Amino acid sequence: MPKIQTIHAREILDSRGDPTIEVDVVLDDGARGRGIVPSGASTGKAEALELRDGDPKRYQGRGVLKAIENVEQVIAPAVRGMEADDQEALDARLREMDGTENKRRLGANALLGVSLAAARAAAASAGVPLYRYLGGEDAVELPVPLVNIASGGVHGGGNIDFQDFQVIPLRAERFSEALHDVVLIYRAMKDVLKARGVHSAGVADEGGYAPRLESNETGFEVMVEAIERAGFVPGQDAAIAVDVAASHFYRHGRYQLSTEREVWSSADLVERLAAWAARYPILSIEDGVAEDDAAGWKLLTERLGKRCQVIGDDVFVTHPRRLAEGMRDGIANAVLVKMNQIGTLSETLEVIRLAQRSGYRTVVSARSGETEDDSMSDLAVGTRAGQLKVGAITRSERLAKYNRLLRIEERLGDRAVYRGVEVFSGFER
């Protein structure tokens, strides 16, 4: 069994120019693996802690030298000699060493860097791609991509309140075809925004447009127009997914809509979302209410859970216990999966297994601050997650993930499975 021999960490930059941690693991048989950790902007309060130096002299306090020191001085000596292909034992050790609920002592960024790099090294040692290492022979399913077209909220510089308008390609029979359709819709959106006089050069954090729309509802309108302009039938060939990211405009128990200049209760917001879901081909709503709004979550799920996918992001933060509690309380019907929200690969896999056992759909997701690390694509295939949310089809930190899936599709050849529209079967539309 290959054993961990050396671990090295370095500070590199992410897609926002923020420092992040990259970890290299080398095994005693010479196999190597690398893991790079992404970073969110619209983070959930209960996420595992991303350790930053807070030293104002470097990167305005955002350096990660402490996390690096933790990897090299604390973690490396303690896990040297451990079997790289016993991921559970390694991750358990990492958690034990940290010893806190939210991984604040060593930092979730330090832990995840090691966890991922070790998995990659173990896969390399076994001579198999990561998806196959994680999922075995049956890991042949490519996910349906939920692709960012327009951004708002903290990803779009506050142009509108809702954070992320995505397209779900439904017509495609292969992943590569799905990407093709999405590219046409992305291009068509530029024309739609130009015609409305709201197009501006440059892209938002996830590569989509950041138009100054007159209302949040207009986001759905322009999505429908872009789908049509690209030559597709809305609702049939392509549908809409939205990440409301409602936690970020929830204050004192109320939703403060700056675009509408209105204050809504949870019931108002849920009713609006329900009306829009009836008027527009919306198939998926993420964080439709805030992480702390438990009553709102129940209402939203009761009202829309049979008609569309209701995803919990900030509310679950890829945490097995929080997901289990949410399921018990009838919250959401799908979970967003972000490895760095929880901090180890094993706990991420646990969340996916728990969701799948309970009939919750899973959407493997990138962060708004990303890197060229493409392990989440392998995670999506390796766990048959079904769906993937990475951002737009521009910016290479996004393309790294899509292009990885194109390579996996090619490699799998005839064995590749793509469920496409079937992933959403069962909703009453």
Residues belonging to the active site: 206, 338
Q: Position 385: which residue type?
A: A
Under the binding rule (CB under 6 A), the answer on residue 375 touching ligand PGA is no
| Among Zn ion, ligand PGA, none, partner that 141 touches (CB below 5 to 8 angstroms by kind) | none
Write down the least CB distance from residue 173 to ligand PGA, Å: 27
Site string for Zn ion, 307-336 (x = CB under 5 A): ------x-----------------------
Q: With contacts defined by CB under 6 A, name the span among 34-42, 92-100, 167-175, 218-226 that binds ligand PGA.
A: 34-42
- CB closer to ligand PGA out of 216 and 368: 368
Q: Do residues 20 and 32 lie in contact, with contact meaning Cβ atoms separated by under 8 Å?
A: no
When binding is defined by CB under 5 A, the residue of 22, 141, 243, 374 that contacts Zn ion is 243
Order of all β-strands in the sheet with 4-13:
4-13, 19-27, 32-36
Q: How far is the CB of 258 from ligand PGA (least distance, A)?
A: 18
* Six token digits for residue 365: 């997701």
- Span near ligand PGA by CB under 6 A; candidates 40-48, 81-89, 193-201, 294-302: 40-48
Among 62, 120, 319, 367, binds ligand PGA (CB under 6 A): 367
Q: Examine residue 225 and tell whether it contacts ligand PGA (CB under 6 A).
A: no
Q: Rule CB under 6 A: is residue 42 a binding residue for ligand PGA?
A: yes
**Helix/strand/coil (H, E, C) string of 117-166?**
HHHHHHHHHHCCCHHHHHHHHHCCEECEEEEEEEECHHHCCCCCCCCEEE
Q: Does 374 bind Zn ion (CB under 5 A)?
A: no
Instruction: Look at residues 385, 337, 352, 358 and name the one whose alpha carbon lies nearest to residue 140.
Output: 385
Select the binding partner of residue 40 from Zn ion, ligand PGA, none (C-beta < 5 to 8 A, by kind). ligand PGA
DSSP 49: P
Stretch that binds Zn ion, among 54-62, 242-250, 393-401, 416-424 (CB under 5 A): 242-250
Single out the residue of 425, 332, 414 nearest to residue 386, CA to CA: 425
Question: What H or E segment, with its residue span, contains residue 184?
Answer: helix 175-195
Question: What x/- string results for residues 226 through 255 when contact with ligand PGA is judged by CB under 6 A?
Answer: -----------------x-x----------
Q: Which residues contact 414 (CB under 8 A, 6 or more apart)?
A: none
Rounded CA separation 78/124 (Å): 22
47 counts as binding Zn ion under rule CB under 5 A: no
What does the alpha-carbon distance between residue 154 and residue 19 come to, in Å, rounded to a whole number?
A: 19
Minimal distance, residue 179 CB to ligand PGA, in Å: 20
Q: Verify binding: residue 87, ligand PGA, rule CB under 6 A.
A: no
In whole angstroms, give the CA distance from residue 279 to residue 14: 38
Sign of the torsion angle spanned by Cα atoms 387, 43, 367, 207: positive
Size of the site for ligand PGA (CB under 6 A): 11
CA-nearest of 419, 322, 338, 349 to 373 is: 338
Q: Under the rule (CB under 6 A), what is the footprint of ligand PGA?
A: 40-43, 243, 245, 313, 336, 365, 367-368
